[in-house]
C-alpha cells in the first residue's frame, strides 16, 4: 500500500516537475465509477457516464486543458455490488497519474468508493449521490455536483402541502439505502413543520418485489391524500405498478430516484399515472449551456438525454475540468483547492458554487409529473 502511495505521489511530483512541452503529450486521467451492467441504478448511471464522456470529448475537441493536454476518462463498472465499488475504487486510486474521480448516483455506493480516494488525497466528485452528509462522512476530498436530499425533500414537501393541498400522508422508505432513508427524514421534517400529518411510516428493502403488505396497510389509512414513496430506481416502477393495480388512485410522490425510464416502462402507460417526483433541474432551464448540452447529446448518442443524470455526469466532469484549469496543474491537492474555490461554475443543472466551506452546491429543483407514462416538467423551485 505504501509503495502505491509512493508511486502516486512520485507520479504527481513527476508531472509537476517535467517541462511543459513533455506535459502536453500526457493525457489527464480521470476515473468514472458507475454501475453499468446490473441493477436499476444502471438506468441512471449509464446516462451519467455518457454525459461525462461527452463533456471530456467536447473539451478535447476544443483543444484540451493546460496547453493541449487531453482528458482521458477511464470507466470502471461497479456492477451494482458494493464490493465491486470498493475494489473498483482501489484499482482506480492505484492507477498511475490519476488526478480525480467522478461517479455514482447513489449515496451508499459513493460511501463505499469515495473513502479510498480520500485516503489517497484524490478529489472525488459525485454526479448524483445526493446525501448532504457525504462530505462530512467521507472528508475534505468529497464534492457533490448535485443538490443535497434536504433541498429536494423540502421542495417536494412544500409542493405537496401548498400546491397539491396534501395534509395527510403515508411515507414508504427503502430501509436498505442511505439515500431513501435520508430523503424520507428530510421530507417528514419539513412536511410536519408545515402542519402536515404523517399517518404511517412503512419500510421495505431494495430487494423486495412484493409490496402487497404495504399496499394493504396504505389502504387501511383512508384519510391519506398521497403516498411519499422514498425509493431508488430499482423499486420505483414496481411500487407505482402495485399501488395502481390495487386500485389506489392517490398521487404518488418521490425523489430523484424516480428519474428513470423504469417509472414509465415497468407499470406501463395505463398504471404509470399521477406521479410527482423531484429531480435535478435542466429540462426547464433555458440557459446557453443547457441548450448546448441537449443538442450535443442528441448528436453524440442519437437520442435526447434519458434523464437529468446525463446532465449531472456532464456537470461533474466539467466541474473537475474547470478546477484543473483554474489550478493550472494536475496535482490532486491543487485541484481539490481549486474545487473548494468554485464560485460560479455554469453547469447544465444550475450554477455550482461551494460557499462557506460547504461542498454541497445549492441548485434548483425540478418537479416532474408523470401523466400516463409521459414525464412533464411541472415547475422549477430555486432554494
Instruction: Tell me the site size for other proteins, rule CB under 8 A.
Output: 28
The DSSP bridge partners found for residue 198 are 169
Local structure of residue 256 (DSSP, 8 states):
G
> Judged by CB under 8 A, which stretch of 48-56, 136-144, 263-271, 367-375 contacts other proteins?
136-144
Is 129 an interacting residue with respect to other proteins (CB under 8 A)?
no
**Residue 266 lies near other proteins (rule: CB under 8 A):** no
Regarding 184 and contact with other proteins (CB under 8 A), the answer is no
Stretch that binds other proteins, among 152-160, 177-185, 295-303, 330-338 (CB under 8 A): 177-185
CB of 382 to other proteins, least distance (A): 30
Q: Nearest distance from residue 98's CB to other proteins, in Å?
A: 12
Site for other proteins (CB under 8 A): which residue of 71, 111, 125, 215? 111
Tell me: does residue 205 bind other proteins (CB under 8 A). yes
Q: How far is the CB of 182 from other proteins (least distance, A)?
A: 11
Check the CA dihedral 331-322-178-246 and report its sign. negative
Q: In whole angstroms, how close is the CB of 114 to other proteins at the nearest point?
A: 7
Locate all alpha helices (DSSP H) within 18-101, ordered by sequence: 20-23, 42-61, 82-93
Q: How far apart are CA 167 and CA 4, in angstroms?
A: 56
Contacts 24+ apart (CB under 8 A), 62-65: 64/28, 65/28, 65/321, 65/324, 65/325
Residue 74 lies near other proteins (rule: CB under 8 A): no
Residue closest to 350 by CA, chosen among 155, 133, 60, 104: 155
Q: Tell whether residue 217 is a contact of other proteins (CB under 8 A).
A: no
Between the alpha carbon of residue 25 and those of residues 64, 173, 273, 308, the distances in Å are 11, 50, 53, 34
Among 11, 66, 75, 176, the residue binding other proteins under the rule CB under 8 A is 176
- Whether residue 284 contacts residue 318, with contact meaning beta carbons closer than 8 Å, is answered with no
Instruction: List residues binding other proteins (CB under 8 A).
Output: 1, 3-4, 37, 82-83, 86-87, 90-91, 94, 108, 111-112, 114-116, 119, 136-138, 175-178, 181, 205-206
Amino acid at each position: 500500500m505504501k509503495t502505491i502511495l509512493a508511486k502516486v505521489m512520485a507520479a504527481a511530483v513527476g508531472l509537476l516537475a517535467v517541462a511543459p512541452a513533455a506535459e502536453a503529450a500526457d493525457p489527464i486521467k480521470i476515473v468514472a465509477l458507475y454501475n453499468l451492467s446490473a441493477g436499476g441504478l444502471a438506468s441512471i448511471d449509464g446516462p451519467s457516464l455518457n454525459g461525462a464522456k461527452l463533456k471530456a470529448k467536447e473539451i478535447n475537441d476544443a483543444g484540451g486543458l493546460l496547453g493541449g493536454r487531453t482528458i482521458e476518462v477511464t470507466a470502471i463498472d461497479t456492477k451494482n455490488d458494493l464490493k465491486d465499488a470498493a475494489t473498483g475504487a482501489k484499482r482506480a486510486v492505484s492507477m498511475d497519474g490519476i488526478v480525480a474521480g467522478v461517479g455514482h448516483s447513489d449515496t451508499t455506493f459513493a460511501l463505499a468508493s469515495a473513502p479510498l480516494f480520500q485516503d489517497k488525497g484524490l478529489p472525488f466528485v459525485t454526479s448524483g449521490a445526493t446525501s448532504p452528509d457525504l462530505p462530512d462522512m467521507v472528508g475534505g476530498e468529497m464534492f457533490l455536483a448535485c443538490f443535497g436530499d434536504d433541498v429536494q425533500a423540502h421542495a417536494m414537501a412544500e409542493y405537496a402541502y401548498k400546491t397539491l393541498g396534501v395534509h395527510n400522508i403515508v411515507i414508504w422508505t427503502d430501509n436498505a439505502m442511505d439515500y431513501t432513508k435520508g430523503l424520507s427524514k428530510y421530507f417528514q421534517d419539513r412536511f410536519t413543520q408545515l402542519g402536515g400529518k404523517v399517518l404511517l411510516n412503512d419500510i421495505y428493502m431494495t430487494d423486495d418485489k412484493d409490496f402487497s403488505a404495504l399496499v394493504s396497510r396504505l389502504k387501511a389509512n383512508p384519510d391519506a391524500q398521497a403516498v411519499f414513496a422514498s425509493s431508488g430506481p430499482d423499486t420505483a416502477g414496481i411500487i407505482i405498478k402495485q399501488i395502481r393495480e390495487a386500485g389506489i388512485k392517490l398521487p404518488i410522490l418521490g425523489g430523484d430516484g424516480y428519474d428513470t425510464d423504469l417509472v414509465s416502462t415497468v407499470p406501463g402507460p395505463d398504471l404509470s399515472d399521477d406521479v410527482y417526483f423531484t429531480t435535478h433541474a435542466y429540462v426547464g432551464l433555458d440557459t446557453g449551456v443547457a441548450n448546448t448540452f441537449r443538442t450535443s447529446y442528441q448528436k453524440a448518442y442519437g437520442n435526447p438525454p434519458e434523464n437529468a443524470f446525463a446532465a449531472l455526469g456532464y456537470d461533474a466532469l466539467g466541474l473537475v475540468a474547470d478546477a484543473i484549469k483554474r489550478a493550472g496543474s494536475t496535482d490532486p491537492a491543487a485541484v481539490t483547492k481549486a474545487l473548494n474555490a468554485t464560485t460560479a461554475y455554469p453547469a447544465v443543472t444550475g450554477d455550482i458554487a461551494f460557499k462557506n466551506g460547504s461542498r454541497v452546491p445549492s441548485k434548483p429543483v425540478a418537479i416532474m409529473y408523470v401523466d400516463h407514462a409521459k414525464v412533464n416538467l411541472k415547475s422549477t423551485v430555486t432554494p
